[in-house]
Chain A
Amino acid sequence: MTANTIGQNQSSLRLTTLKVLETLALLLIIAFIVLPILWLAITAIKPQEKAYSTTLIFSPTLENFEIIFSDTSVIINEGTDRERGEVGRNMFPSVVNSVVVSGATILIAIPLATLAAYAFSRYSFLGNSVLLVWILTTQFIPAIVVAIPFFTLFRSITLFGKPLLGTQMGLIIVNMSIVLPYAIWMIKGFVDALPGEIEEAAFVDGCNDFQILFFISLPLIRPGVLVASVFAFIMSWNEFLFALIIGREMRTMQVALMTTSGARGIMWEQMAAAGLVVMIPIFFLALFIRKNVVDGLTMGAVK
């Protein structure tokens, strides 16, 4: 064997070791990411008495979901010698609250953000860039500072004879403070990416500003607006501090997770079931906007 082939063998050996190491690293990363989610999913379908253990041997059940969505007492392990009653904790109203609040938040925020983003991108007006940076910095205001005054304000303001505190409306208003800035920056990114020539041509053809905006530009940035809507939906869905302080007994799902605490401490199998309900829809939404999440979170600062 010549020295050359030995060298080649060594380098191919080194390459193989690298490959193996890389695969191991990838598997480790996958385990790191997936394990908590997988474990939650497993616990959600475990019968109550197996939830407090690491065992993987159990017969799957939907009882936990039944309990978190029923109003009355549920008999579990029916027909066995382990038959027991458990009072249901209906979380359905909380699901409705979450959907309504997050839905209404984007219904209000996205049209406004789209108009603003378009203006920021297409017009140069006094204070344009200063305003944009200022909007960027509003995301750094701690949520608790927003929550305290709105809490005291909503206690005294009534709408249709009901104080705003503890209503969906109150929470939607406060959610604007976190959703709008992100949405503006995100949609502005999409408008920026749109070539200006088409609008230019329309202008020459005699369209006015609004005709251009509504008939030319908006249809073109529709995918971007959709992505921003999904992003905003996820943000308000996962929001916790406002929901706790402003939402109060109008519980969103995030706060409803706290109600799985009962006579056994936190009833983990119910928490896991509720957790899945909170998480699954967001999974699909997150996959859908996978490529844009980073831009959204950093408001386009990392590219």
Chain B
Amino acid sequence: MRNSRLIICLLLVALFAALPFASVYADDMDVMDPATFGLNPDKPYDGTHLKFLICCSTAPQFASAAVKGEAEFTAMTGISVSWGDLPFGSFQEQLYLEATNPNTEFDVVAFVDAWGTNIYDFLHPLNDFVEEAGFDWDDYGPAYQGAATGLSDTIYGMPFRGHPLLLHYRADVLEAVGMGPPATWQDISAIGEAITASGMDIAPIAMYYGLNVDQNLFNWYAQLWGAGTDIFDENWEPVFNNEAGVAATEQYLSYVRDGYSPEASVAWNEQEANQELVQGRAAMFIGWWWMASRMTNSEIPEVAENAAFAPAPGWEGGETTSYGYLWAVGVLDQSDDRDAALEYLKWLTHPITERRIVLDASDPALDTNVAVRLSVLADPEVNEVHNGLQGVASAVLADARTIPLIPEYTEIVPFLAEAINELATDPMADTQAVLDRTADDVRFVMQAAGYYDS
């Protein structure tokens, strides 16, 4: 608890330190002037039509970019863009199939960190683009940089939307039991015990252990890293089943096993768990920060008025390491309109575009707090609109990491997600045994892919 106060103090200091930078984006800038974005004023790509492969275009974090200002981009460049809207559940599949298809119609694709590894060969390297556009690569935190470059120095995608893990909680409930937001994963158990003992009719926390696009791994990664271990060691040997790994996994599962998270959470996905919080049936939830507005916009006044956010907890006596989840946007090498696509990317990921989108809260359906650039996250005006949420996010991102960026990882992830789901659904399952078996599965994939040849 003291930790979180300290963080908030630090944040305030950081905010004021960032003030001079903020003035770079004065509001009187002309957003209709191509020069503002470094776009070619001669409209060399006039009449070009681009197809953008992206998921969930109705989610505010994405819809906001399509609706706010894309008409301006078209007016400035003559390039029109259509978004191929895909449901999240089938997006990964569609991404692979389109990117690897020599006849694809798509020019621009969005991808989530590890998903990109399977299509790196088909993406246009963006290092020259970043330099030419005059973008500051260090304006992105280490987790996002890593997720956009894989294990190399080649930039495959520009960070577009990114998410640190945030604790969403009910200030009133925690106050009623005399506690502040948990600083460690272990604190959650203590708070859970206090809430249960108080007899309040609310679940202490809503976790999500269900099998749904591997969302049940998000919190697990953070605990694994916090406890001092990882998925792989430097020789690509699985180590998540070592002592620290088992301890982290048991801590992660303890919330449902001890009854602090509802029994049904073994089947929930992230959205369903969040819904528990929004509907006032749970007091805490740890998930991506874009969901914050779900809580502040809750139909239940008690929930909306007591919505509070803090960085995701850390490991007691260990580290506080979050998973930074990144949606990057890349350009397909085989696109016939690659240069026009790069022009679009320049506008789409430009700091001014990014800042304008988060600043504009006029349409509730398009209101989003999601930004990825450190300069935008530190912007006081942006923080004012979103009650300092971006400040909390930057604090989390400072220590955030990304997952193993190898193509085989997408084959390995289902093994891990299944292991977590099995441990959650089967109370008799032995954590060590299940993790050991999963490590064998993982090693099998890595062996077949030739990681252990030497």
| A binding-site residues for B, Cβ under 8 Å | 49, 52, 72-74, 82, 84-89, 155-156, 158, 162-163, 165, 244, 248-249, 258-259, 261-265
A87 CB contact (under 8 Å) in B60, B269, B271, B272 = B60
**Cβ-defined contact, B56 with A262, below 8 A:** yes
**Cβ-defined contact, B59 with A263, below 8 A:** yes
B44 at the interface (CB under 8 A from A): no
Interface residues of B in 40-81 (CB under 8 A from A): 56-60, 63, 67
**Cβ-defined contact, A244 with B90, below 8 A:** yes
B275 contacts across to A, CB distance below 8 A: 52, 264-265
B87 contacts across to A, CB distance below 8 A: 258-259, 261
**Cβ-defined contact, B291 with A263, below 8 A:** yes
B63 contacts across to A, CB distance below 8 A: 73, 87
**Cβ-defined contact, A85 with B294, below 8 A:** no
Closest Cβ of chain B to A261, distance in Å, is 5
CA distance A162 to B51 in the complex (A): 14
B89 at the interface (CB under 8 A from A): yes
CA distance A258 to B91 in the complex (A): 11
**Cβ-defined contact, A156 with B97, below 8 A:** no
A264 contacts across to B, CB distance below 8 A: 271, 274-275, 278, 294
CA distance A82 to B365 in the complex (A): 14
B56 contacts across to A, CB distance below 8 A: 262
**Cβ-defined contact, A248 with B363, below 8 A:** no
**Cβ-defined contact, A261 with B294, below 8 A:** no
B90 contacts across to A, CB distance below 8 A: 244, 258
**Cβ-defined contact, A49 with B363, below 8 A:** no
B58 CB contact (under 8 Å) in A49, A88, A258 = A88
CA distance A170 to B86 in the complex (A): 19
CA distance A220 to B85 in the complex (A): 48
CA distance A83 to B235 in the complex (A): 55
Max chain A Cβ within 10 angstroms of own Cβ: one of B58, B102, B279, B294: B58
Closest Cβ of chain A to B361, distance in Å, is 11
* Contact (A249, B102) CB under 8 Å given A89-B58, A263-B271, A264-B271: no
A49 contacts across to B, CB distance below 8 A: 299
CA distance A248 to B97 in the complex (A): 10
A88 contacts across to B, CB distance below 8 A: 58
Closest Cβ of chain B to A287, distance in Å, is 32
CA distance A248 to B365 in the complex (A): 27
**Cβ-defined contact, A163 with B104, below 8 A:** yes
CA distance A264 to B56 in the complex (A): 12
**Cβ-defined contact, B364 with A87, below 8 A:** no
Q: In the complex, what residue of chain A is closest to B59 when comparing beta carbons?
A: A263
**Cβ-defined contact, A85 with B299, below 8 A:** no
Q: In the complex, what residue of chain A is closest to B279 when comparing beta carbons?
A: A52
CA distance A258 to B55 in the complex (A): 12
**Cβ-defined contact, B366 with A163, below 8 A:** no
**Cβ-defined contact, B272 with A84, below 8 A:** no
A263 contacts across to B, CB distance below 8 A: 59-60, 271, 291, 294
* Contact (A84, B59) CB under 8 Å given A52-B279, A73-B365, A73-B366: no
A258 contacts across to B, CB distance below 8 A: 87, 89-90
Chain B 139-169 near chain A by CB (<8 Å), digits 1 or 0: 0000000000000000000000000000000
Chain B 277-296 near chain A by CB (<8 Å), digits 1 or 0: 01100000000000100100
B294 contacts across to A, CB distance below 8 A: 263-264
CA distance A72 to B366 in the complex (A): 10
B319 at the interface (CB under 8 A from A): no
B84 at the interface (CB under 8 A from A): yes
B3 contacts across to A, CB distance below 8 A: none
**Cβ-defined contact, B101 with A87, below 8 A:** no
Closest Cβ of chain B to A243, distance in Å, is 11
Q: In the complex, what residue of chain A is closest to B90 when comparing beta carbons?
A: A258
**Cβ-defined contact, A85 with B365, below 8 A:** yes
